[in-house]
Structure 1
Amino acid sequence: MSQLVCATSNCKRIARALCHCCNRNICLLHLKEHNDAFLSQLNPCADEINSVDYRLVSIDAKVLLQEYHKQLEEWRKASYKTIDQIFEEKSKELERILIEKIDKQKIEINLVRDTITKLNEEAEASQLDVDLIKTKISRLNENLTNIEQISFKINTYPLIIDNNAVQIEEKKDLQTILSSPFKTIDFTDLGSPIIASNNKYLLLHQNSYLCLIDNDFKIFKKIPWHLKQIHDICWSSALDRFILTTETCGICYVHENSISLQDVECLTRQRFFSCSCSNTSLFLTTDTVGSSIIEFCLLPTIELSRQWQSPDTCTKDEYINRIRYSHGTLGLVIQNLTENTLKIELRCSKTLDRFWSIPLSSGLKLKQYEYCVFNDCQWLFIDRISSSILHITNDEKIKQTCNYNSKLCNVALFGTDILAVLTDKCIHFHKL
C-alpha cells in the first residue's frame, strides 16, 4: 500500500493527517504549524470577547432607564393628582350639603327670633302666637337633631386602570424611521426651504403662498406671499401664532386661524436671521457677522429681555446660522466665514454658558444645512449637499448619520410622533 506524501510545497514527509481547513493530506509537523497559526488568531479573539463582556458588565441599567423611570413617575404623579382632585371635589360636596342644611336652619332661627322681638316691642301677644312660636321651636329642634345625626351613603367603586394606560415601545433608530414614509404630499416650486409646526399645523412656503397642512395631511389654508425669501420660522405658544424672519420686512406673524401678517413694530429696527421660542420668550439672531442673540419676553407684552453680543455669542468672523430652543437650552449652528468651518453648540438659555461644542467637517456653505430639535432633547443636523441627517444626543454624542434617498431640504417634528421631511419635490411624513 503506497503512502501519501505531505501536500505542503517542498515537503517530502509522509502525510499522517488530513487538514480540515484546506482539505489536504499533510504531515504532523505542518499540521502543528497549521494549528499554531489558528491558535495565534484566537488570542485577539479572546481579548475582543473579554472587551465585549466588559462592556456588557459595565452597562448600568439604572442610568439607562433613569429618564424613562422619570416619565413613569410623572404619569404616576398625574394619576394621583387626578385621584386627589376627585377626593377634594367629593369632600367639598359633602361639606356643601351639610352647610346648606345648617344655613337653612339659621334662617329659620332668625325668623323666629325676629317674631319674638317684634311681639315684645308691640307689647301684645296672643296664645295663638305663643303656640305657633313653640311649634316652630319644636320643629327646629327636630331638624337640628336630624343634622346632628346626619348620615350619608357613599358609593365607591374599585379604581380600574387599564394596563394599556402605560405602553412601552422600544424606539426605532433614525435610519429605520426614515426608511419608508407613511404619507407623502407632492408639490412644485418650493419657495423657502423652511418648515415649522405646532401640534395642529405644518407651515411651509410654496411658490407665492404660505401653506398650512393639517393633521389630515391636507392643505388647510393658503395665503398669498409677495415678500422675499423667508429666513426662518418658529411657533410661539404664548402668542398662539407662527413667527417668521424674512429678508425684507424683519418679523411677521402668521395666525393659524386668520392667516394674517403683521409687522412687529418693536422688532423692526434690526435685521434678524434665525428665531426660536420657549413658552415665554422669543430668541432671535441678528443677520450680521459676529451675530448677536436677542431675547424678547412675550407676555404680557413684547419687551426686550436681554441681549448677548460677540464675543459671548461667537467671534467677530463667525455667523450664527440657526438657533433652536429646547428645555432650557439653546442649540446653535455657528459658521466661521474666514476658515469656512462649522460647529454645533449647546448653550444655557439663561446665561448662554456653553455646555458643549461639536466641530463639523468644513466645506458646507451658508444656507446649505438646517438644524432642528428632535425627541427627548436631541438634535438633528441636516446637510443639504449630501442629503444626510446627523442625529446628536443632548450629551454631545453623535448617535447616527443617516442618508436620505431624496434631495433633502429640511425636517421638522409635526406634533410629538411624526417627522416631516421636506425635499425639493414633496413632503414625506415618517412615524416615530
Structure 2
Amino acid sequence: MEWMKKVKMAADRAREEVRDIVAEPKKQLKRITDDVRPRMAEEDFVEYDLNRWMDEIKQLTVDIKAMSSTLVIEGGDECEWKRLLKVRKMEHQSLVSKSPQRSEKGANEEKQLDFNKLKDRSQRQIKVYRSDYAIGASNTNLLCRGDRDTLCLTDRTGHKTNTLWWNGGNIWDICWSSFLDRFLILTKRTLHSLNVQTSEVTQIKQVSDKNRADFYRCTCSNQTTLVCFNKKGSVVEEWDMSGEWKMMRRWQPPVSCQQNEWIGDIRFSIDGSQLGVTVWVDGRYNQFHVRDRSMNILNNITFPSSKSGYRLICLPNGQWLTHEHENKELHIIGRDGKLEQTLTYNTCVWRAALLRRCLVIRTDDNELCFQDL
C-alpha cells in the first residue's frame, strides 16, 4: 500500500506541473490585454505597438498549438519516487522572429522623442511629498511618495490611480522590473517589491550588518538587479531575481569606481546590453560612463562639479538623459557615450522618469511636471 501512496503523490505532483505549464499562455494573454486596453482607450499607441502586439499574439497562438507536443511524461528506471513522474516542457522554434525588418522599423519610429517640447510649459502638474524625491515608471504607471505614510500611483495624465499605505521610511530609488512585473523600492537598509495589481508590498532584502554601507541606487534588466551602496569607493552587487535573490557578482574599486569616487546613479540601457553610470569626486568633477555588462568603461564625459552627483534615466533608443539638481540643464547622451544635446528646463530638476512618451520631472518646488514628448 505504501508504494501506491507514493505513486499517487508523484501523479499529483505531475498534475500540478502540467497545470502550471498549461496556465502560462493564459498569463501571457492577460499581460498583453492589460497593456493593450488602456493604451487603446487613450489612443496612445504607434505602428510599432500594433506590430509588437500582433507578434505577441502570433507567438501565443504558436505556443497554444504546440502545447500538445511540449508536455512529456518521463519515467525513470530507478525507483526514485520524487522523480517517478517528471513533466518537462520541450522548446519549439519561434515563428514570430522571421520579420525583424518590420519590427526594427517600428522600433525606430517609436523612439523618436522631441526634447524641444521641454521648452513648453508642462501640460499637467501635481503636488508631491516634499521629503522624498525618488520616482519610477513602468509602461503604464508612475510611482512616487504620496505623503509621509503613502505611495502614490499615477498614469501619464497625472491622474492618481491608487494610493497605498507605506511605512518603510524614506525611499532612495525606484525602478520597474518587467521580469517580476513589479516595482522595486529601495530604502537605506531594505529592498521591497510592489505588485501593482494586488497592492502588495513585500520586503526582499535587508542590510543586516550595521557596519555595512547603506543601499543607494538600483536598476534591473530581465532577471538581473544591480544595487550600489552609499559610500566612497562605491560597491556594486548583481543579484539574480529568478530564484532566491542570490548574489552573482560583486564589483569593488577600482572596477566599480575609483577609491575616491562615489557612484551617483546606475541604470541599464533600454535593451540591457549596456550600463550608464555617473560618478563624482566632491569639489573636483562629475563623470558619465557608458559601460558594458562587466563594468568596463566604453566612453565617458566629464561635467562640472556637483555636490551630490548626476541623476540618470535610460531612453528608448539607447540614449541617456542625465542631470543634477543644482541647475536646470538636461543632457542627452547617445548610445556611444557622446553628448548630443543640452537643454535648459524652466526650473531645477531633482528627478526624472520616462512614462512611455511622457517625461515626468520632479522639481525642487514639490511638483511632478508631465511633459509629452
For the aligned pair, the TM-score class normalised by the smaller chain equals 0.5 to 0.7
Q: Give the number of equivalent residue pairs.
A: 282
Q: Is the contact made by 1:392 and 1:399 (CA closer than 8 Å) also made in structure 2?
A: yes
Bigger proportion of residues as helix = 1
CA-CA distance at 1:236 after TM superposition: 1.2
CA-CA distance at 1:355 after TM superposition: 0.7
| Aligned pair partner of 2:191 in 251, 254, 257 | 251
Alignment CA distance shift 1:188-1:324 (3 Å) = closer
- Structure 1 length-normalised TM: 0.58
CA distance in 1, matches of 2:56, 2:167: 50
- Residue of structure 2 equivalent to 1:344: 288
Counterpart secondary structure, 2:317: helix
Alignment CA distance shift 1:400-1:88 (3 Å) = closer
Bigger proportion of residues as strand = 2
Counterpart secondary structure, 1:316: coil
Q: Is the contact made by 1:181 and 1:429 (CA closer than 8 Å) also made in structure 2?
A: no
| Aligned pair partner of 1:395 in 336, 341, 344 | 336
Q: Is the contact made by 2:301 and 2:339 (CA closer than 8 Å) also made in structure 1?
A: no
Alignment CA distance shift 1:170-1:282 (3 Å) = closer
Asked if 1:357 is matched to 2:305, the reply is no
CA distance in 2, matches of 1:178, 1:293: 33
Alignment of 1:328-339 (within 5 A): 328-337=273-282, 339=283
CA distance in 2, matches of 1:321, 1:221: 30
CA distance in 1, matches of 2:126, 2:261: 37
Structure 1 residues 267-276 or 306-315, which shifts more?
267-276
| Aligned pair partner of 2:182 in 216, 238, 241 | 241
Q: Is the contact made by 2:178 and 2:222 (CA closer than 8 Å) also made in structure 1?
A: yes
- Residue of structure 1 equivalent to 2:266: 323
CA-CA distance at 1:398 after TM superposition: 1.1
CA distance in 2, matches of 1:77, 1:217: 26
CA-CA distance at 1:189 after TM superposition: 3.6
Q: Is the contact made by 2:349 and 2:361 (CA closer than 8 Å) also made in structure 1?
A: yes
| Aligned pair partner of 1:304 in 237, 247, 251 | 247
Alignment CA distance shift 1:301-1:189 (3 Å) = closer
- Residue of structure 2 equivalent to 1:212: 153
Once the two structures are aligned, what percentage of the paired residues are identical? Answer: 24
CA-CA distance at 1:78 after TM superposition: 9.8
Q: Is the contact made by 2:352 and 2:362 (CA closer than 8 Å) also made in structure 1?
A: yes
Counterpart secondary structure, 1:406: coil
Counterpart secondary structure, 2:117: helix
CA distance in 2, matches of 1:83, 1:216: 31
Alignment CA distance shift 1:279-1:385 (3 Å) = same
- Residue of structure 1 equivalent to 2:131: 191
Q: Is the contact made by 2:111 and 2:316 (CA closer than 8 Å) also made in structure 1?
A: no
Alignment of 1:54-133 (within 5 A): none
Structure 2 counterpart of 1:358, one-letter code: I
CA-CA distance at 1:83 after TM superposition: 8.6
Alignment CA distance shift 1:206-1:75 (3 Å) = closer
Asked if 1:419 is matched to 2:359, the reply is yes
Structure 2 counterpart of 1:204, one-letter code: C
After superposition, give the CA deviation of every residue in 1:169-199 in whole Å (9 maximum; x if it has no partner). Answer: 994642x221225631321542311111101
Structure 1 counterpart of 2:146, one-letter code: Q
CA-CA distance at 1:216 after TM superposition: 4.7
CA-CA distance at 1:418 after TM superposition: 1.7
- Structure 2 length-normalised TM: 0.66
Q: Is the contact made by 1:250 and 1:268 (CA closer than 8 Å) also made in structure 2?
A: no
Alignment CA distance shift 1:75-1:334 (3 Å) = same
Structure 1 residues 238-247 or 80-89, which shifts more?
80-89
CA distance in 1, matches of 2:134, 2:320: 17
Alignment CA distance shift 1:84-1:74 (3 Å) = same
After superposition, give the CA deviation of every residue in 1:198-232 in whole Å (9 maximum; x if it has no partner). Answer: 01210012331211112453111112334432111
Alignment CA distance shift 1:263-1:395 (3 Å) = same
CA distance in 2, matches of 1:371, 1:84: 34
Q: Show structure 1 runs of 5+ residues with no match.
A: 1-71, 91-164
CA distance in 2, matches of 1:204, 1:84: 35
- Residue of structure 2 equivalent to 1:221: 162
CA-CA distance at 1:74 after TM superposition: 12
CA-CA distance at 1:389 after TM superposition: 0.5
Q: Show structure 2 runs of 5+ residues with no match.
A: 1-46, 66-104
Counterpart secondary structure, 2:118: helix
